[in-house]
Amino acid sequence: MIKRMLGCVAVCGWLLASGSALAHHSLSGVYDIKKEGTVSGTLTRVAFTNPHGAMHLEVKNPDGTSTEWIMTTGSANTLAGLGISKNGPNAVNVGDAVTIKYFAARNGAPLGFIRTITLADKREIQISTGSSAD
């Protein structure tokens, strides 16, 4: 009976450990950290969440249509440390015109991981260096 109980505890512990290990991933799994781009548009949604936030950006195309880009950010904690919030010194809100430098998605989708964001007043804020720690 004790062996069964210890076996169950060991299996449960292994499952919990493997789940948390899979939850964190490197940038290079989704984004090509050797391929950068720049895009300008208007923020349509801003989510300050963990483990990664997101900014949705409406970008006008040359033909007059628009494309929604989803730009992944660092965690809410990382952004708060940079003063990026709805009311912080580097406030970012829906309706703001911004320019974003990003790591492009490997699959070519309108998706990126933000390196820097330039606000309407021309302040540029670095969000990611591209290391696995971001």
Report whether 101 contacts 129 (CB < 8 A): no
pLDDT in tens, 51-101: 888 999 999 999 999 999 999 998 888 888 888 888 878 888 999 999 999
Per-residue pLDDT band at 9 (split at 50, 70, 90): very low
What pLDDT was estimated at residue 131?
Answer: 57
Give the residue from 38, 67, 56, 60 showing the smallest Cα distance to 92: 56
The stretch 116-131 carries a mean pLDDT of 85
What 3-state DSSP class applies to 22? helix
Percentage of the chain beyond pLDDT 90 is 46
Better-predicted residue by pLDDT, 107 or 2: 107
CA distance 93 to 86: 6
What is the pTM for the complete model shown? 0.74
| Range in 25-29, 39-43, 64-68, 100-104 with the lowest mean pLDDT | 25-29
